C-alpha cells in the first residue's frame, strides 16, 4: 500500500532498530528508510542482517547491520557507538527485539521465563540506557539547537487482560510498557526525549502469528475480532512513522494498541437476531412484574 505520509517526513534522521532485520521490525526499517531516514539494524544472526541490509540498499536506503545481543550491555554499547560512528548521530531508537513461544505456566522453566524477560524488558532498557547520551538534547552528535530524540518500544496487548500460555511474554511486555511510561516522564522532562510504544495484535506473515496461532490450533480469532481480520506489518510501520515524525511531536508516554480492537472483544455467543428476541422477552417480563412490592415480610 502507498504511504499517506510525505516521503521526506524523516529526512536526515538516523534510526537504530533492534530486531529490525525481520518481521515487524524490518517493515519499520523499510518504511523509515522510504521516508528519508538512514537505518542501522541490530540482531544476532549475520545472514539475516546481511539480507536485510541488501534489501534496504536495493531500495536506495542507506543501511548498515550490526551483530549484537540486546541482553549484553557491551553489545548494546558497541552497536550504538558504531551507529553514531557510521552515520554521525542517532535520532531514533526502536526496540523491536523479542522472544516468544507457546507454553503453559507449569511447563515453563524459570530459565525460559528469564530468557524472555531478558530479551524483551531488560534488553529494551539496556538499549535505551546506552543510547541516552546520543538521544538527549545537546547530546553527542546533536546540534545545540536540535530537540531530543525519539524512542519507540514495541510491546503487545497480551497483558491487558490475560492470555493463555503467554505468562512469560505478558510479564515481559507489561514491563516494557511500564518502562515506556517511566522513561517518557523522566527523560521527556530532563532530556527532551519522547518515548512511546506500539502494542501490536495478531499481525499476518510474522513469526509471532505462526508461533501463537499455528495451523494445528483451531482458532476463531478472525471472526471474534471487531474488524474480522489480522493486521499487516504495514499497519504497525505507518504508526511508527507517524509517532517518529513531527506529526507526533507532542505525543509522549503513549502506548498505541494496533490490533483492530481485538483486545476489547469477546466471543459472540448470541447472534443479533437472538439478542433481539431475548431482549424483548426480558423486557416483557420486566414490565409485567409488580414494581415496588416487597418479596419478603422482612
- Of the pLDDT bands very low, low, confident and very high (cuts 50, 70, 90), residue 268 is low
Q: Are 20 and 52 in contact (CB under 8 A)?
A: yes
User: 158 lies in which domain range?
Assistant: 14-264
DSSP state of 137: T
Domain annotation covers residue 231: yes
Position with higher pLDDT, 284 vs 293: 284
Domain annotation covers residue 68: yes
Domain annotation covers residue 164: yes
Predicted local confidence at residue 49, as pLDDT: 97
Q: Report residue 267 as a C-alpha cell.
A: 466471543
CATH number assigned to the domain comprising residue 231: 3.40.50.720
Number of domains in the chain: 1
Please tell me the pTM assigned to this model.
Answer: 0.86
What average pLDDT does range 197-219 have in this prediction? 63
Mean confidence (pLDDT) of the chain:
88
Check whether 228 has a pLDDT greater than 80: no
Domain annotation covers residue 191: yes
Check whether 118 has a pLDDT greater than 70: yes
| 66 strand-pairing partners | 42
Position with higher pLDDT, 215 vs 205: 205
Check whether 270 has a pLDDT greater than 70: no
Domain annotation covers residue 278: no
Buried b / exposed e across 153-169, counting CB within 10 Å, b at 16+?
bbbbbbbbeebeebbbb
Predicted local confidence at residue 173, as pLDDT: 97
- Of the pLDDT bands very low, low, confident and very high (cuts 50, 70, 90), residue 201 is confident
Q: Is residue 95 helix, strand or coil?
A: strand
Give pLDDT tens digits for 60-114.
Answer: 999 999 999 999 999 999 999 999 999 999 999 999 999 888 889 999 999 999 9
Question: What is the percent of the chain where pLDDT is above 70?
Answer: 83
Amino acid at each position: 500500500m502507498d504511504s499517506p505520509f510525505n516521503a521526506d517526513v524523516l529526512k536526515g534522521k538516523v534510526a537504530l532498530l533492534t530486531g529490525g532485520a525481520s518481521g515487524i521490525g524490518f517493515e519499520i526499517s523499510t518504511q523509515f528508510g522510504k521516508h528519508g531516514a538512514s537505518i542501522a539494524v541490530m540482531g544476532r544472526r549475520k545472514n539475516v542482517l546481511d539480507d536485510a541490509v541488501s534489501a534496504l540498499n536495493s531500495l536506495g536506503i542507506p543501511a548498515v547491520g550490526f551483530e549484537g545481543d540486546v541482553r549484553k550491555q557491551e553489545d548494546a554499547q558497541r552497536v550504538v557507538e558504531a551507529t553514531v560512528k557510521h552515520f554521525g548521530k542517532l535520532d531514533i531508537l526502536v526496540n523491536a527485539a523479542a522472544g516468544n513461544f507457546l507454553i503453559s505456566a507449569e511447563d515453563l522453566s524459570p530459565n525460559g521465563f528469564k530468557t524472555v524477560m531478558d530479551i524483551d524488558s531488560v534488553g529494551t532498557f539496556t538499549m535505551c540506557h546506552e543510547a541516552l547520551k546520543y538521544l538527549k538534547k545537546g547530546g553527542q552528535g546533536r546540534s545545540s539547537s536540535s530537540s531530543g530524540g525519539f524512542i519507540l518500544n514495541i510491546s503487545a496487548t497480551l497483558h491487558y487482560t490475560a492470555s493463555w500460555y503467554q505468562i512469560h511474554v505478558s510479564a515481559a511486555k507489561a514491563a516494557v510498557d511500564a518502562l515506556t511510561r517511566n522513561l517518557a516522564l523522566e527523560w521527556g522532562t530532563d532530556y527532551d526525549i519522547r518515548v512511546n510504544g506500539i502494542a501490536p495484535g495478531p499481525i499476518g506473515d510474522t513469526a509471532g502469528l505462526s508461533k501463537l496461532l499455528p495451523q494445528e490450533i483451531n482458532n476463531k480469532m478472525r471472526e471474534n475480532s471487531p474488524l474480522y481480520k489480522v493486521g499487516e506489518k504495514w499497519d504497525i510501520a505507518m504508526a511508527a512513522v507517524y509517532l517518529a515524525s513531527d506529526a507526533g511531536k507532542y505525543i509522549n508516554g503513549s502506548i498505541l494498541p494496533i490490533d483492530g480492537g481485538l483486545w476489547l472483544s469477546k466471543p459472540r455467543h448470541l447472534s443479533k437476531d437472538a439478542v433481539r428476541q431475548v431482549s424483548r422477552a426480558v423486557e416483557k417480563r420486566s414490565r409485567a412484574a409488580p414494581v415496588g412490592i416487597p418479596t419478603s415480610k422482612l
